Chains A and B, each alone.
Chain A
Amino acid sequence: MIRNILEQADKVDAKLAVLSKSAKKHTIMLTRKALTSESKDGENASSEDISALLEKEREEILHLQGLKKDLLEQCRDLTPADRVVLARLSNRPHITDFIDALFTDFFEQKGDHLYDEDPSIFGGIALFHGIPVTVLGHRKGSTVEENMACRFGMPCPEGYRKAMRLMGQAEKFGRPIITFIDTPGAYPGMEAEEHGQGEAIARSLAFMSHLSVPVIAVVTGEGNSGGALALSVCNRMLMLENAVYSVLSPEGFASILWKDSSRHEEACELMKLTAADLYENGIVDEVIPEPRGGAQTDPVSVYRSIEDAIARHLTPLMKMSPKEITADRHKKFRKL
């Protein structure tokens, strides 16, 4: 259902873009005519004709805007399966967008300094409201080339070891850590196994559990399996309204449980993977609302909401002693 709505909304958006461009052109033409009373080649139409055209275009724009609003309004009651679709949209804001919008002076750090650089984990040092922080997370990539290089956000062990390197420095210099979670899972490849995928994730979990600086994890897209958890051992877990977080993708879940991955929508209903479910279960500390129809319809409002939520949760955490911070995190996970 959601795919259908989003497709229609995209069509309306495309029409709106054409109309807006045309209306802008006509406005300029009218202004020029009024100012110079002479016309360029090919602008033979009278001011009256252009005005009439512009009037029509403006009406049409209003109509389409209304139509889009109605369409998005249909996204009021989303099923868990709908949210999985939204969480995976390629035009949903990703980690690089969040870093651009929420932080300043970002310095990217590369590589695990052991063996390799894994671009599917993106991170570095930046200022958040003027405070130095370490920020990192999964990167799916925006272009096809990036998608391939990042394996659509599925890290290899080198990625997790890079994450640990960055987080270790954060601890050394007393910087809070902010992670963005968005991954289909750790990469299930041959080399990844040979290089110790399981060991890398386990180390990251153990390492994060004892960090003495505040860790805030923001689930922004899909968070699947140990690949997502490896960056989520946090003091506060925030989650976008349409993001999902689960033990495995619904397709994998259905495949393991019923040997039939096509039953993934049914799996979504049972898995309790939505932000609201996880909030109710005490795993997520705050659900960050999204505009109707998903974060991609108005990314700027989403950036502001995330920024506000991080700031609100970070302030009290930064007043805690290192021991209290570790104990606070231990308490969160011990009760689960």
Chain B
Amino acid sequence: MQFSLRKNMEEELKEDPFITCKKCGRRSRKSQWISHYYACPVCGKLKNVSASYRLSVIFDKGSIRLQDQNITSQDPLNFPGYKEKLEATKDKTGLMESAVTATGKIGGQKAECIILDSRFFMGSMSDAVGEKVTRGIEYATKHHLPLIIFAASGGARMQEGIFSLMQMAKTSDAIEEYSRNGGLYISVLTHPTTGGVTASFATLADITLAEPGALIGFAGPRVIEQTIGKKLPAGFQRSEYLYQHGFVDKIVPREDLRETLMMLLKLHGMKVKEA
């Protein structure tokens, strides 16, 4: 398991040694991006990163144990062309689904971590995503682990229709059960978190953090503009906007995330210490 993670990262590094920023258009060395936690060294714009990278950032070295790695979409509607697209995405990303679940240690404290990897169907909610997220939450409930979820989602997996929708109820039920058992749930909203994920587990946390500049909302900006018949103001539905409107506790840059998590665990009576 550890091997496959490392391989993923090495493969990423083998490609072009430069990365072009999508916002400012400047090309910077990959090593520089990496030292900035994949924020543009020039303008600070965050690049979407893989689930394996996120795990490596927050967890102690060598502590990561991936879970339920073989859960994959059942194509419940037998949707034309979907199976092929799934296979192609699996090959491209090395993932079986967008959701990656793992346990690991943060400063020695064991935690459950669930990540939606936006490279896989934009992190959209499929039956497999819902099942994996639910199992991850259930594992945390059963083993009394703190729960950290990195949300990133374009919304529902259209090809799975109503089954995609039902995952919202299933995952919210699991979070409620976890919460009633006294579990600490920290949600980290990343770019973009929209639709059914926003309207289920992502917004049900005890502590809600967000990465800077992430798009977070229920309806997509295009749909809202069509409904109200005008352009949306700059910054609408961004992390900072939600922070102002009272839906986010703190906006945390990537380089501060591990430290923030350690502090929060400590504030909830857990023993953490920097290795």
- A residues touching B (Cβ–Cβ < 8 Å)? 186-190, 192-199, 201-203, 205-207, 209-210, 225-226, 229-230, 232-233, 245-248, 252-253, 256-257, 270-273, 278, 281, 283, 330, 333-334, 336
Contacts of B220 in A (CB 8 A): 188
In the bound complex, what is the Cα–Cα distance between A233 and B218 (angstroms)?
19
Interface residue B19 (Cβ < 8 Å from any Cβ of A): no
Interface residue B250 (Cβ < 8 Å from any Cβ of A): no
Question: Is B164 a contact partner of A229 (Cβ separation < 8 A)?
Answer: no
Contacts of A232 in B (CB 8 A): 169
Candidates A190, A202, A334; contact of B170 at CB < 8 Å: A334
In the bound complex, what is the Cα–Cα distance between A330 and B219 (angstroms)?
27
Candidates A186, A187, A188, A273; contact of B161 at CB < 8 Å: A273
Interface residue B239 (Cβ < 8 Å from any Cβ of A): no
Contacts of A190 in B (CB 8 A): 224, 228, 232, 236
CB distance from B176 to the nearest CB of A (A): 4
CB distance from B189 to the nearest CB of A (A): 10
Question: Is B162 a contact partner of A246 (Cβ separation < 8 A)?
Answer: yes
Question: Is B161 a contact partner of A202 (Cβ separation < 8 A)?
Answer: no
Contacts of A203 in B (CB 8 A): 203-204
Question: Is B80 a contact partner of A270 (Cβ separation < 8 A)?
Answer: yes
CB distance from B259 to the nearest CB of A (A): 27
Q: A196 and B203 in contact (CB under 8 A), knowing A188-B219, A189-B228, A190-B236?
A: yes
27 contacts between A and B (CB under 8 A): A186-B218, A188-B219, A192-B218, A194-B245, A196-B245, A197-B199, A198-B218, A199-B203, A202-B203, A206-B172, A207-B176, A210-B173, A226-B195, A226-B196, A246-B161, A247-B156, A247-B160, A247-B165, A252-B223, A253-B161, A270-B161, A271-B161, A272-B162, A283-B166, A333-B166, A334-B134, A336-B166
Most buried by A among B175, B196, B220: B196
Question: Is A210 a contact partner of B176 (Cβ separation < 8 A)?
Answer: yes
In the bound complex, what is the Cα–Cα distance between A205 and B176 (angstroms)?
9
Question: Is A189 a contact partner of B170 (Cβ separation < 8 A)?
Answer: no
- B residues touching A (Cβ–Cβ < 8 Å)? 76-77, 79-80, 127, 134, 156, 158-170, 172-173, 175-177, 179-180, 195-196, 198-204, 217-220, 223-224, 227-228, 232, 236-237, 245, 247
CB distance from A201 to the nearest CB of B (A): 4
In the bound complex, what is the Cα–Cα distance between A272 and B180 (angstroms)?
35
Residue of B nearest to A224 (CB): B165
Candidates A189, A198, A229; contact of B165 at CB < 8 Å: A229
Instruction: Given A197-B219, A334-B173, output 7 extra A-B contacts at Cβ < 8 Å.
Output: A186-B218, A188-B219, A188-B220, A193-B218, A226-B199, A273-B161, A336-B127
Q: A273 and B162 in contact (CB under 8 A), knowing A202-B201, A206-B204, A226-B218?
A: yes
In the bound complex, what is the Cα–Cα distance between A273 and B179 (angstroms)?
33
Question: Is B77 a contact partner of A247 (Cβ separation < 8 A)?
Answer: no
Residue of A nearest to B216 (CB): A198
Question: Is A226 a contact partner of B158 (Cβ separation < 8 A)?
Answer: no
Question: Is B224 a contact partner of A209 (Cβ separation < 8 A)?
Answer: no
Residue of B nearest to A199 (CB): B203
The secondary structure that dominates the B interface is helix
CB distance from A210 to the nearest CB of B (A): 5
Contacts of A270 in B (CB 8 A): 77, 79-80, 161
Contacts of A248 in B (CB 8 A): 156, 158
Contacts of B228 in A (CB 8 A): 189-190
In the bound complex, what is the Cα–Cα distance between A255 and B102 (angstroms)?
35
CB distance from A115 to the nearest CB of B (A): 12
Contacts of A207 in B (CB 8 A): 176
In the bound complex, what is the Cα–Cα distance between A271 and B204 (angstroms)?
29
Contacts of A197 in B (CB 8 A): 199, 217-219
Contacts of B179 in A (CB 8 A): 206
Candidates B79, B161, B165, B173; contact of A226 at CB < 8 Å: B165
Question: Is B168 a contact partner of A193 (Cβ separation < 8 A)?
Answer: no
Contacts of B236 in A (CB 8 A): 190, 193
Contacts of A330 in B (CB 8 A): 173, 177
Q: A205 and B169 in contact (CB under 8 A), knowing A210-B177, A247-B156, A270-B80?
A: yes
CB distance from A7 to the nearest CB of B (A): 29
Candidates B159, B169, B202, B245; contact of A209 at CB < 8 Å: B169
Ranked nearest first, the 6 interchain pairs of A and B with the lowest CB-CB distance are A188-B219, A198-B198, A209-B173, A205-B172, A198-B218, A201-B199
In the bound complex, what is the Cα–Cα distance between A127 and B164 (angstroms)?
35
Candidates B158, B200, B203, B227; contact of A247 at CB < 8 Å: B158
Question: Is B203 a contact partner of A245 (Cβ separation < 8 A)?
Answer: no
Q: A205 and B168 in contact (CB under 8 A), knowing A198-B199, A198-B203?
A: yes
In the bound complex, what is the Cα–Cα distance between A52 and B202 (angstroms)?
74
Question: Is A257 a contact partner of B232 (Cβ separation < 8 A)?
Answer: no
Q: A333 and B224 in contact (CB under 8 A), knowing A226-B168, A247-B162?
A: no
CB distance from B190 to the nearest CB of A (A): 15
Q: A272 and B77 in contact (CB under 8 A), knowing A247-B156, A256-B158?
A: yes
In the bound complex, what is the Cα–Cα distance between A202 and B187 (angstroms)?
14
Candidates B76, B158, B180; contact of A210 at CB < 8 Å: B180
CB distance from A245 to the nearest CB of B (A): 7
In the bound complex, what is the Cα–Cα distance between A191 and B113 (angstroms)?
33
In the bound complex, what is the Cα–Cα distance between A229 and B232 (angstroms)?
27
In the bound complex, what is the Cα–Cα distance between A189 and B237 (angstroms)?
12
